[in-house]
Structure 1
Amino acid sequence: MSRRILVTGATGYVGGRLAPRLVEAGHHVRALARDPGRLRDAAWAGDVEIVQGDLEVLADVRRAVEGVDVVFHLVHAMSAGGDWAQAELVQAQHVAAAAKAAGVQRIVYLSGLHPQGQRLSKHLASRVAVGETLLASGVPTIVLEAGIVIGSGSASFEMIRHLTEVLPYMPAPRWVRNFVQPIAIRDVLHYLVAAAEVPGDVHGAFDIGGPDVLRYGQVMNGYAVEAGLPQRPIAPLPVLTPWLASQWVNLVTPVPRAIAMPLIGSLLHDCVVEEHRIDRVIPPPEGGLTGYRGAVRLALARERSGDIESSWRSASSAGAPSDPLPSDPKWSGSTVMEDARERVTSASPEAVWRVVESIGGDRGWYSVPLLWSIRGLADRLVGGVGLRRGRRDPVRLRAGDVVDFWRVERIDHGRLLRLRAEMRVPGRAWIEFTVEPAQLESGGSGARYRQRAIFLPSGLGGRLYWWSLVPAHHVIFEVMANRIVAAAEAEAR
């Protein structure tokens, strides 16, 4: 039966994969996003109704649920910093109240596996509180409590992957001996899609997990086997607290401290399936649930091919500015610092654009790698995102994508790319690339390449920051402009 479905968190890791699968299942899907522009370039954007709104604004939620049969609540706020647990609770309260008032027939929430009767980490306690709020809404609700989600682009998978690949020997906290029950993202999506059509009398929380129960140390070495790496000796250390462990993860993986801390906190418990009531409501996938190593193989294959539908990187980083560049920052009353470069080249606009769109990640920044690395490390040390986030796709970008410590704010394919800085800076920063056709002095045709670094400083500290970096910027941005044009010309040759 076709249903009218609202998906919150459609710009996130799970929501970005669920929305197109609900469409494939024949449902009418509405996606709620604070910034609809981040969904503009999604392959499925034309198949869904996209509405703008903030879950912390009750009026927005009421508008979003109007005429809806099912609400999928998939928003988590831990990457936003501050009192994210309180923010999650307020959002759940708004969804619960609006859904009840609108006559919604079903709420579905994705929570986390947790032990009963124990003091939980802040991360798991928040999941439980949100689930209980939705269950008390008066609307039939299904809360799916999942283990560690394994899939290309998931934060848990990235943490496992980088810890295992970077460290030949792992000093680890005692919780590496705790038991976990990972689940493949494809199986999570199976349960979520099926939950939309569960009869209305089903109400409650249900554990879901894959077929394998493993110690966390076995999870890391299971990855090593699938990645063709030697298994790593692991030494549990009693002094490595969750806070210290999160600093370590922040330095050696792309997962920033704001996300690493809650994830690590949830590993302080054994998190395994304690009941199998879900089997009476939603049968397992045809062919059975995917084992842990099978899920790793699938995730690695997707990452190696660059075919990553969604990623944890889509989540906004704590403290990162979210306001777009003013259309005319000088007239907006802001102090504007700018470094502008322009080149005319014999390469075609298409060739220049291909170089621009593939910037960052493994291909680097066509500049001075050492200086970029130092800036990335400095950002990690102060709790920023650093350079390790990379890219979702090595050659294609869409609005909302992460590129190292930048985020795509605007992209007009073939013409303009604007990146907003998410590193820690005393102000707001952007870098913008434009490409357009140009006539050469020789009479032929080519391209005009423009590059602008824009900084809106905050107070005296922001101004001193920019002025202190002017010499370095001169080198970095001059070399960048020259090498991007040279790379395009080399491709043409």
Structure 2
Amino acid sequence: MSADRPGDAPRVLVTGASGYIGGRLVPALLAAGYRVRAMARSPEKLRDHPWAGDVEIVRGDVTDPDSTRAALRDIDIAYYLVHALSGGSDFEATDRRAAHVFATEAGNAGTRRLIYLGGPVPPGVPERDLSPHLRSRAEVGRILLESEVPTVVLRAAVILGSGSASFEMLRYLTERLPVMVTPRWVDTRVQPIAVRDVLHYLVGCAALPEGVNRGFDIGGPDIVTYRTMMQRYARVAGLPRRLIVPVPVFTPGLSSHWVGLVTPVPGAIARPLTESLRYEGVCKENDIVRRIPGPPGGLTGLDRSLALALQRVREAAVATRWTSAATPKAPSNPLPTDPGWAGGSLYTDRRERVTDATPQALWDVIESIGGDSGWYSFPLAWAARGWLDRLAGGAGLRRGRRDPARLRAGDTLDFWRVEEIQRGRLLRLRAEMRLPGLAWLELMVAEDERGTVYRQRAVFHPHGLLGHLYWWSVFPFHHLVFGGMTRNITAAARDRTRRAHRDARRGAGERHAGAAATGDQIG
């Protein structure tokens, strides 16, 4: 279903709408008043986006002329945001064919403008000598520029935002390695740009005069090396300064294997990225400012870009990644369709148990947890954790709870705090003990065809290498602690249900006996 927009508003097609940039561009275009058609090879991936009901969603593949032709029908402006980021032997040929198909069908459809987000072209390096990834992006841009449809090509080097492949590689390397032996590309100069600024320029391109047919370099206000970016990330994230030792022995292949070993970024993505990092990614011109005014407040600096990309963790909004309780509010934040390796490390312990307890009895046990009721598993381990927390300067278990039976959002609960409570359904606690990271504990009541279901989820976001070591050091005790909680909470709920049934039967019997006695007296 298309959005309810003014009939004369330009119609815009966004290809790659399920991708990193496309998924963030669509709401920006809607906010600017455009009527948007979103194209994806798998439209079902778009259903979790909050804007899905405000756009027309079509299935299409840019290598297929028929589906591309249908997607471009009645389109004024088309964004080309697809690229075969793969090390496959034929990906350059695939990119080339797709660009030709799209340019041809756009021309036949009468599309007034094409907009493409490509990569930088290093000065003094012939296109044939570039990495396959950069060479293909440059070729796609050239094919579109040489078509009969006026085209704008934006060239960006490193895009900073949670979910961006470049940023995620930076995040994982810096978080996990306080000391690292690195490839020489750590000293290559780049000009990173915040994703919000990329979106500003992409939206602005839609309003350019029809005669504009050229490429523009775009970048943020800082020119730095990758080494500097890692050190600045460490500082913004509150990590100690990293020791970085570049060595000349890393070939592109070895470099991508090294990145694959240290980070969860897939090798098919890591290899083209690391190959491209050998080349300088600095703007050769800044002509874009004469065509599109800068964003309000100016371009986003490096430290601010990094802070925005980390913001969801700082504000405890990590729930947007592992529940559907919230929607990311900024382009720097993750989206439901971002790849699973995006967003930083997130360790999770999930437990589930079906019980014959009533949902109310189960919830009553959950809401009474902590304080004098304890934590329903391995009391010595909880006590020891409380002592350790106090030794480290934390509150330990001495804070207890405000009320023995009822909780409300914001309550302290031993060394936890109630972050969210949906009475009868969900209790989410945020850890306030001393930890090398952020932690949450979620206790839930559900019902399905099996009966009453207790679900429990512990989530830990590590801070630096120490955070990863902490998780794996306590992991062997999870079965005792978290497994014991699952068993004992459901057992307590079952006992509470049985007591309630016994009391109900006893009450019914007493009422029956009373009624019989009254009858005898009347008789």
TM over 0.5: yes
Deviations 1:391-448 (A, max 9, x none): xxxxxxxxxxxxxxxxxxxxxxx9xxxxxxxxxxxxxxxxxxxx86347xxxxx6359
Cα distance in 2 for residues equivalent to 1:316 and 1:171: 23
Matched, 1:115 2:133: no
Matched, 1:87 2:94: yes
Matched, 1:39 2:46: yes
The aligned residue for residue 409 of structure 1 is: none
Superposition deviation, residue 268 in structure 1 = 0.6
User: Structure 1 residues 29 and 486 mapped into 2: Cα distance closer, same or farther (>3 Å)?
Assistant: farther
Q: 1:4 aligns with which of 8, 11, 25?
A: 11
Superposition deviation, residue 222 in structure 1 = 0.8
Cα distance in 1 for residues equivalent to 2:92 and 2:105: 20
Does structure 2 conserve the Cα–Cα contact (< 8 Å) formed by 1:162 and 1:253?
A: yes
Deviations 1:127-185 (A, max 9, x none): 10110011111101000001200011111111111111111112111121110000000
For 1:51, the aligned partner's letter is V
- Structure 1 length normalisation: TM-score? 0.66
**Percent of aligned positions that are identical:** 48
Q: 2:249 aligns with which of 229, 239, 245?
A: 239
For 1:2, the aligned partner's letter is A
User: Structure 1 residues 346 and 291 mapped into 2: Cα distance closer, same or farther (>3 Å)?
Assistant: same
Deviations 1:228-255 (A, max 9, x none): 1122122110101111111111111121
User: What is the root-mean-square deviation in Å for CA atoms of aligned residues?
Assistant: 3.2
The aligned residue for residue 452 of structure 2 is: 446
For 1:155, the aligned partner's letter is A
In the comparison of the two structures, how many residue pairs are matched? 355
Superposition deviation, residue 346 in structure 1 = 3.5
- Could you tell me which runs of 5 or more consecutive residues in structure 2 were left unpaired when the two chains were aligned: 1-7, 319-327, 343-351, 364-424, 426-445, 456-479, 497-523
- Pairing of 1:48-447 with structure 2 (within 5 A): 48-79=55-86, 81=88, 83-118=90-125, 119-304=129-314, 305-306=317-318, 307=328, 308-310=333-335, 313-314=338-339, 345-346=356-357, 348=359, 437-438=448-449, 446-447=452-453
Cα distance in 2 for residues equivalent to 1:487 and 1:104: 64
Superposition deviation, residue 117 in structure 1 = 3.4
Does structure 1 conserve the Cα–Cα contact (< 8 Å) formed by 2:81 and 2:116?
A: yes
Cα distance in 2 for residues equivalent to 1:274 and 1:121: 19
SS at match of 2:197: helix
For 2:270, the aligned partner's letter is A
Cα distance in 1 for residues equivalent to 2:222 and 2:99: 31
Deviations 1:356-390 (A, max 9, x none): xxxxxxxxxxxxxxxxxxxxxxxxxxxxxxxxxxx
Cα distance in 2 for residues equivalent to 1:198 and 1:222: 36
Does structure 2 conserve the Cα–Cα contact (< 8 Å) formed by 1:211 and 1:291?
A: yes
For 1:90, the aligned partner's letter is R
- Structure 2 length normalisation: TM-score? 0.62
Cα distance in 2 for residues equivalent to 1:130 and 1:7: 17
The aligned residue for residue 418 of structure 2 is: none
User: Structure 1 residues 38 and 237 mapped into 2: Cα distance closer, same or farther (>3 Å)?
Assistant: same
Superposition deviation, residue 93 in structure 1 = 1.2
Does structure 2 conserve the Cα–Cα contact (< 8 Å) formed by 1:207 and 1:273?
A: yes
For 1:261, the aligned partner's letter is R
Superposition deviation, residue 486 in structure 1 = 5.1
For 1:52, the aligned partner's letter is R
SS at match of 1:72: strand
For 1:437, the aligned partner's letter is D
Does structure 1 conserve the Cα–Cα contact (< 8 Å) formed by 2:353 and 2:453?
A: no
Cα distance in 2 for residues equivalent to 1:264 and 1:103: 39
Does structure 1 conserve the Cα–Cα contact (< 8 Å) formed by 2:63 and 2:98?
A: yes
| Greater radius of gyration (CA) | 2
SS at match of 2:20: coil
Superposition deviation, residue 489 in structure 1 = 4.4
For 1:117, the aligned partner's letter is G
- Kindly indicate whether structure 1 or structure 2 has the higher relative contact order, using CA contacts under 8 Å at least 6 residues apart: 1
